[in-house]
């Protein structure tokens, strides 16, 4: 493990480290997990902190940060809900950002990736896997307490509605975070990527104060990171704000 010499912790998410390497900046997360690597990523000690390279080619959240995302990010001690966790490539990094006192509730509906996610959770104690369909959030509502953020990467035609419904049910209240890795190729070819982005922003923007969306090309073709902070309107259909 060769350690890069200089790094800067992110102000909003202090377990996210930015390491200048020539003209580029590498992202690393201070890990809560244990070796071996999850997807072949590098591990290194930075100033006594055990960290993992957060690869924008493999993780859309990392791509969003590299492309200039200025919206909310997971921070230590928070609870987040992750929709479409697959084998845990990105979910393990979100769990890192939440730190040992935070919790990541990771929903995946396919059995094979879920089996690997479950194995991973044995080495990531703050990652709690849930085998479920994110279109039916009430079915896992007994497993998920009010959360500070929802992150979705589910590549479905109705991905915007799925993230909205989960955010409305699980977010602790206004100001909580909603992030969607929007895959426009899953939404049909009648309109192009920019048209799908505009529709997603219009739909989410009714109940979320949106940060500027960022395009994830060239790391992830025709994807965008979209989201921001929930407004009170998101919770209009539920009887009173959920207690924190």
Ligand X SMILES: C[S@@+](CC[C@H](N)C(=O)[O-])C[C@H]1O[C@@H](n2cnc3c(N)ncnc32)[C@H](O)[C@@H]1O
Q: Rule CB under 6 A: is residue 113 a binding residue for ligand X?
A: yes
Of 119-127, 130-138, 201-209, 223-231, which segment contacts ligand X by CB under 6 A?
130-138
Report the nearest approach of ligand X to the CB of residue 230 (Å).
21
Residue 27 burial (CB count, 10 A): 22
Of 71-79, 147-155, 172-180, 212-220, which segment contacts ligand X by CB under 6 A?
147-155
Q: Could you say which of 156, 173, 199, 210 contacts ligand X (CB under 6 A)?
A: 156
Report the nearest approach of ligand X to the CB of residue 75 (Å).
20
Q: Report the residue number, 84 or 227, with the smaller CB distance to ligand X.
A: 84
CA dist 7 and 46 (Å) reads 8
If DSSP codes are grouped into helix, strand and coil, which group holds residue 98? Answer: helix
Q: Report the residue number, 151 or 235, with the smaller CB distance to ligand X.
A: 151
The answer to whether the peptide bond before residue 65 is cis (omega within 30 degrees of 0) is: no
CB of 213 within 8 A of CB of 228? no
Q: Rule CB under 6 A: is residue 227 a binding residue for ligand X?
A: no
Contacts of 124 (CB under 8 A, 6+ apart): 32, 33, 88, 92, 95
Q: Rule CB under 6 A: is residue 110 a binding residue for ligand X?
A: yes
Q: Could you say which of 50, 155, 210, 211 contacts ligand X (CB under 6 A)?
A: 155
Q: Report the residue number, 9 or 155, with the smaller CB distance to ligand X.
A: 155
- Residue ranges in 41-100 that form contacts with ligand X under rule CB under 6 A: 59-60, 83-86, 89-90
For residue 60, the surrounding DSSP H or E stretch is: helix 60-66
Q: Could you say which of 70, 119, 133, 202 contacts ligand X (CB under 6 A)?
A: 133
Q: 172-189 burial by CB neighbour count: b if 16+ within 10 A, else e? A: bebebbbbbbbbbeebee
Residue 8 burial (CB count, 10 A): 11
Report the nearest approach of ligand X to the CB of residue 61 (Å).
8
Q: Rule CB under 6 A: is residue 116 a binding residue for ligand X?
A: no
Q: Report the residue number, 23 or 37, with the smaller CB distance to ligand X.
A: 37
Of 69-77, 101-109, 115-123, 172-180, which segment contacts ligand X by CB under 6 A?
101-109
Q: In what order do the strands lie in the sheet with 16-21?
A: 8-9, 16-21, 24-30, 49-53, 43-46
Q: Rule CB under 6 A: is residue 202 a binding residue for ligand X?
A: no
Q: Rule CB under 6 A: is residue 171 a binding residue for ligand X?
A: no
The answer to whether the peptide bond before residue 218 is cis (omega within 30 degrees of 0) is: yes
Q: How far is CA 107 from the centre of its chain?
A: 12
- Which position has the token pair 């977010």? 171
Query: Contact positions toward ligand X, by CB under 6 A?
Result: 59-60, 83-86, 89-90, 107-110, 113, 133-135, 153-156
């Amino acid at each position: 493990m060769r350690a890069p010499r200089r790094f800067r912790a992110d102000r909003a998410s202090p377990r996210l480290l930015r390491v200048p390497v020539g003209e580029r900046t590498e992202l690393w997360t201070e890990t809560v997990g244990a070796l071996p690597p999850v997807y072949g990523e590098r591990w290194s000690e930075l100033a006594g902190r055990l960290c993992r390279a957060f690869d924008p080619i493999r993780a859309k959240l990392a791509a969003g940060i590299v492309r200039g995302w200025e919206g909310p990010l997971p921070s230590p001690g928070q609870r987040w809900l992750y929709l479409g966790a697959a084998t845990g490539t990105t979910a393990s990094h979100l769990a890192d950002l939440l730190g040992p006192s935070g919790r990541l509730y990771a929903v995946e509906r396919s059995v094979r990736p879920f089996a690997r996610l479950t194995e991973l959770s044995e080495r990531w104690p703050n990652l709690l896997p849930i085998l479920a369909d994110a279109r039916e959030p009430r079915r896992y509502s007994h497993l998920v307490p009010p959360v500070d953020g929802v992150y979705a990467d589910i590549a479905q035609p109705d991905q915007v509605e799925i993230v909205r419904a989960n955010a409305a049910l699980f977010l602790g209240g206004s100001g909580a975070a909603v992030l969607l890795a929007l895959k426009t190729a899953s939404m049909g070819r009648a309109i192009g990527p920019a048209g799908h982005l505009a529709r997603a922003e219009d739909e989410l923007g009714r109940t979320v104060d949106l940060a500027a969306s960022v395009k994830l090309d060239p790391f992830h073709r025709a994807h965008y990171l979209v989201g921001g902070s929930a407004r009170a309107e998101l919770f209009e259909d539920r009887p009173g704000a959920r207690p924190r």
